[in-house]
């Protein structure tokens, strides 16, 4: 058990220290996924080059988009051009900020129907 008697101060270059900090589970997962997506798939007979999983997924996405799948079209455009930014202008025509901004709060009762209530700030 740690106590005053057996604690040693940290020194620079200590081999027990993790350089750059410990990677989060999300970062580790992202790195594993990237390695997996870059993995080559065995060539099929008559295929000129071997594809990666990323190539196969990209082709499947584009095939779905060409067939008219709206979600696939949205993903393809978001990846190619970036997501469209949405901004809300809270100024009046003279450039001053609006003072009558309302917050809408949804309260769900036990039966599942929603009620809208407005609160004025």
> For the segment 42-58, what is each residue's pLDDT rounded down to a tens digit?
888 888 888 899 999 99
Mean pLDDT along residues 19-43: 87
pLDDT at 29: 93
Region of poorest pLDDT, from 24-33, 74-83, 98-107? 98-107
DSSP-derived secondary structure letter, 99 = S
Alpha-carbon distance of 117 to 102, in angstroms, equals 10
Choose the most confident range, by mean pLDDT, from 7-21, 40-54, 81-95: 40-54
Question: Does position 108 have pLDDT exceeding 70, yes or no?
Answer: no
pLDDT at 80: 87
Note whether 76 and 62 are within 8 A (CB). Answer: yes
Mean pLDDT along residues 9-22: 72
């Amino acid at each position: 058990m740690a106590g005053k008697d057996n604690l040693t101060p940290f020194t620079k270059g200590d081999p027990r220290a993790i350089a750059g900090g410990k990677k989060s589970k999300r970062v580790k997962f992202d790195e594993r996924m990237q390695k997996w997506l870059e993995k080559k798939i065995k060539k099929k007979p008559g295929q000129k080059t071997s594809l990666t999983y990323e190539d196969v997924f990209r082709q499947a996405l584009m095939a779905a988009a060409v067939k008219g799948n709206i979600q696939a079209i949205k993903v393809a455009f978001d990846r190619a051009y970036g997501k469209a930014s949405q901004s809300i202008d809270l100024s009046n025509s003279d450039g001053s900020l609006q003072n009558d901004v309302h917050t809408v709060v949804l309260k769900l009762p036990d039966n599942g129907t929603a009620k809208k209530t407005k609160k004025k700030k």
